[in-house]
Amino acid sequence: MKIGRIIEGRGGLYTIRDENGRDFILRAKKHFRHEGMVPLVGDRVHFTPGNLEEHGWLEQIFPRSSLSVRPPVANITQLVIVLAPEPEPDFLLVDKLLVFASRQNIAPLIAVNKSELDPGVAVEIRQTYSTSGV
């Protein structure tokens, strides 16, 4: 068996990148479905590569350090929240994302795009969130 990380999942097939940077196409074993566990992008896994045209098998999913439901990804280490002056930023959504990141021990980062449209927005965002450690 080999160790790798899921980099794509589509239609019951998963692309796994191993520690040497090689990609493998795998199917998940049925026991994941019976356990109610869905393999997600970002999961570290044990897998058995396939032979020639035959798909390999995803055997085991290691414990996750974080989990995002939307989008469905696992083991996130940083969350980048991108804001722009137009349309007006939704600060309630920003606050919800910051709470999510805090609960999952994910390092948040706020980036302001298109700041030339209104330089005051970037200054306001920096003042508002600087005390929160973001």
Each residue of 6-19: pLDDT tens digit?
Answer: 999 988 899 999 99
Is the pLDDT reported for residue 133 higher than 80?
no
| Per-residue pLDDT at 69 | 83
| Per-residue pLDDT at 5 | 96
Q: What is the longest distance spanned by two Cα atoms in the chain?
A: 58
Q: What is the signed CA dihedral for 129, 132, 133, 134, rounded to 10 degrees? A: -40
User: pTM of the entire structure?
Assistant: 0.76
pLDDT confidence tier of residue 94, bands split at 50, 70 and 90: very high
What would the pLDDT profile of 43-76 be if each residue is shown by its tens digit?
999 999 988 778 889 999 999 999 988 888 999 9
| Per-residue pLDDT at 121 | 86
CB atoms within 10 A of CB 2: 16
